């Protein structure tokens, strides 16, 4: 670390926290007492059986890099990116090792040493983080699906580029319109509002599942919340941060803070688990930014995941119940990163009446993990197969889960296995029941 950059507060720099990620924190590393309990829940260790693909092994590799015993080698880089960052290990770790922070620090370290052009970074910066780029990409994909080009191109891809062909098959149907373009800045419920919530429409969620955003709004309205949709909102920054581009993530966070604050909302409700998890960390992310740190802490305190918010503030229980066997898949960024597990389960249990059946390994990653299923297609597919087999054994006709990545991944998985399983967001499930309540 540069000597010419003294800590303004006079304290020792808190290396390894999200604010300053040029090194991996020694304290965080030492916290791991290598007992091995994390191995039992690690999906990548389950795939390879190799210690270096386990949280404990990766932490030891980080320590070795930190101590100068090994360089940031190809193997090191591979293992850090092979990790799904699902954080199941963090739930399992009695010692309280902050593994997520560690692996993200390691990725920042890797990216900071990369020279030259990175396609991944280019795509993330221009097509995910920038709303305009995302619109262009979504429009192209929509055209590709709707014009019939998909039908013509897929067989060609199958022969010429089988890798891309398999990945293209995973793509869910694009939304016709972005919810953010349709939703007014403020929407009032019927009757007296209980308060105001601002919603994040998200990037992936809005591009692929804008219906879920509409369902989210309708469910919140039904429960008498006033809805604000900040129009200047951008990507939450999680994809950038998880890929090691922390500076981009910070600038996105600052923009969102500014835009959400303007609404004066009591809560910020987010229906993508990956986004809610990251937005709850803005306080930590910006803690060394004197201008924004206090606002970031305040911001994060208002962030609630959709199911967490509904359960904790109370919601009208629909009288109609879902038909058939219903199960629940826990998104990693909800159960492990946010420790939100009982709340969505209670909701799903409630709306499925007698038909709820527990999914074996419900807390195991489905392999989606942000852009993991694109970058590590083969490994992600094995995890998906494991998930699909558990769904088959459970016999569910409906699987509820609250994250667009998981929804797309599992939908592709069950479709591929020719299983008749519908994957729905809790907001969609609830809204459907509210609608049929109104009919009866």
Partner 1 sequence: MINDATKHKLRDIFGKVNLLDSTEDRIAYSYDGTPLFGSLPDAIVIPAAVEQISLLMKLANEEKFAVVPRGSGTGLSGGSIPTENSVVLLMNRWDKVIELDRNNLAAWVEPGVITGKFQSLVESHGLFYPPDPGSSQICTLGGNVAENAGGLRGLKYGVTKNYVLGFEVVLPNGDLMRIGGKNMKDVAGYNLKDVLIGSEGTLGIFTKILLRLIPLPQTSRTMLAFYDSMAGAAETVSSITSARIMPAMLEFLDNSTIKAVEDFARLGLDTNTGAVLLVEVDGPRSAVEEDAAAIEKICRKSGAKAVRVAGDEAEGMKLKAARKSAFAALARIRPTTILEDATVPRSELASMVDFIETTAKKHEIRIGTFGHAGDGNLHPTGLTDERDKNEIRRVEGAFDEIFRRAVDLGGTITGEHGVGLAKKKFLESLYDTPFIRFMKTTKEMLDPNCVLNPGKVISVSPRCEGALPRSREQIEKALGRMDNPSEAYF
> Smallest distance from the beta carbon of 357 to partner 1, in angstroms?
16
Q: How far is the CB of 53 from partner 1 (least distance, A)?
A: 9
Question: How far apart are the C-alpha atoms of 103 and 80, rounded to whole Å?
Answer: 6
Closest CB to partner 1 among 53 and 401? 53
Closest Cα to residue 203, out of 175, 225, 167, 226?
A: 175
Supply the minimum distance, in Å, between the C-beta of residue 328 and partner 1.
17
Quick check: 186 and 228 in contact, CB under 8 A? Answer: yes
Choose between 34 and 317: whose C-beta lies nearer to partner 1: 34
Give whichever of 6 and 68 is closer to partner 1, judged by the CB atom.
68
Question: Please, which residue, 36 or 184, has the CB nearer to partner 1?
Answer: 36
Q: Which of 180, 171, 169, 231 is nearest to 210 (CA)?
A: 180
Helix (H, G, I), strand (E, B) or coil at 344: helix
Residues that bind partner 1 (CB under 8 A): 27, 30-31, 33-37, 39-40, 49-52, 57, 60-61, 64, 67-70, 73, 75-76, 79, 93-96
| Sheet architecture: strand order including 226-228 | 186-187, 226-228, 196-200, 267-270, 303-305
Closest to partner 1 by CB, 50 or 152:
50
Q: Which is nearer to partner 1, 36 or 232 (CB)?
A: 36
Beta strands in 203-305 (DSSP E): 226-228, 267-270, 303-305
User: Using CA atoms, how far apart are residues 403 and 425, in angstroms rounded to an integer?
Assistant: 7
* Cβ atoms of 132 and 122 closer than 8 Å: no
Shortest Å, Cβ 35 to partner 1: 5
Q: Are 114 and 140 in contact (CB under 8 A)?
A: no
The candidate with the shortest Cα–Cα distance to 325, out of 347, 358, 364, 350, is: 358
Q: Which helix (H) or strand (E) holds 186?
A: strand 186-187
- For partner 1, which is the closer residue by CB, 27 or 247? 27
Nearest to 373 by CA among 84, 53, 54: 84
Distance of closest approach, residue 312 Cβ to partner 1, in angstroms: 17
Which two structure tokens, joined as six digits, stand for 378? 């083969």
Minimum CB separation of residue 335 from partner 1 in Å reads 14
CB of 88 to partner 1, least distance (A): 12
Residue 226 Cβ, how far from partner 1 at the closest point, in Å?
Answer: 34
**Residue 27 vs 185, nearer CB to partner 1:** 27
Task: For 8-18, give one letter per residue: b (16+ CB within 10 A) or e.
Answer: eeeeebebbbb
Element (H, E) at 27: helix 26-30
Distance CA 79, CA 76 (A): 5
User: Is 123 in a helix, a strand, or coil?
Assistant: helix
Q: Smaller CB distance to partner 1: residue 47 or 123?
A: 47
Structural tokens at position 48? 């390879």
CB 21 within 8 A of CB 108: yes
Minimum CB separation from partner 1 for residue 92, in Å?
Answer: 8
Nearer to partner 1, 64 or 145 (CB): 64
CB of 73 to partner 1, least distance (A): 7
């Amino acid at each position: 670390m540069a000597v010419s950059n003294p800590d303004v507060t006079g304290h020792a720099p808190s290396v390894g926290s999200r604010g300053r990620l040029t090194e991996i924190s020694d304290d965080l590393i030492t916290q791991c007492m290598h007992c091995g309990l994390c191995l039992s829940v690690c999906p990548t260790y389950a795939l390879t059986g190799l210690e270096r693909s386990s949280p404990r092994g990766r932490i030891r590799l980080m320590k070795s890099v930190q101590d100068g015993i090994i360089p940031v080698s190809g193997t090191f880089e591979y293992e850090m990116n092979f990790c799904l960052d699902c954080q199941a290990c963090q739930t399992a770790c009695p010692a309280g090792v902050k593994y997520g922070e560690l692996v993200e620090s390691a990725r920042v370290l890797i990216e900071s040493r990369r020279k030259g052009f990175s396609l991944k970074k280019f795509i993330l910066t221009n097509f995910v983080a920038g709303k305009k780029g995302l619109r262009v990409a979504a429009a192209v994909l929509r055209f590709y699906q709707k014009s019939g080009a998909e039908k013509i191109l897929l067989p060609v891809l199958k022969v010429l580029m089988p890798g891309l062909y398999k990945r293209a098959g995973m793509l869910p149907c694009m939304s016709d319109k972005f919810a953010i373009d349709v939703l007014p800045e403020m929407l009032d419920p019927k009757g007296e509002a209980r308060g105001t919530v601002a919603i994040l429409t998200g990037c992936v969620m809005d591009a692929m599942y804008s219906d879920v955003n509409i369902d989210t709004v309708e469910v919140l309205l039904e429960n008498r919340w006033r809805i604000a949709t900040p129009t200047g909102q951008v990507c939450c920054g999680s994809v950038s941060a998880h890929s090691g581009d922390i500076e981009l993530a910070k600038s996105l966070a600052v923009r969102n803070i500014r835009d959400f604050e303007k609404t004066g909302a009591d809560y910020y409700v987010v229906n993508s688990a990956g986004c809610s998890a990251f937005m709850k960390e803005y306080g930590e992310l910006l803690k060394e930014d004197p201008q924004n740190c206090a606002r970031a802490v305040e911001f994060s305190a208002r962030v609630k995941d959709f199911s967490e918010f509904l359960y904790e503030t109370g919601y009208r229980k629909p009288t109609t119940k879902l038909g058939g066997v219903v199960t629940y898949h826990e998104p990693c960024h909800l159960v492990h990163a946010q420790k939100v597990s009982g709340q969505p389960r209670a909701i799903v249990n409630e709306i499925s009446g007698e038909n709820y059946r527990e999914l074996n390994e419900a807390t195991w990653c489905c392999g989606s993990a942000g852009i993991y299923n694109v970058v590590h297609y083969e490994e992600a597919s094995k995890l998906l197969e494991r998930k699909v087999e558990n769904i088959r054994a459970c016999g569910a006709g409906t699987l509820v889960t609250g994250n667009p990545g998981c929804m797309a991944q599992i939908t592709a998985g069950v479709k591929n296995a020719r299983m008749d399983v519908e994957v729905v967001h809790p907001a969609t499930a609830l809204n459907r029941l509210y609608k049929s309540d109104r009919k009866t």
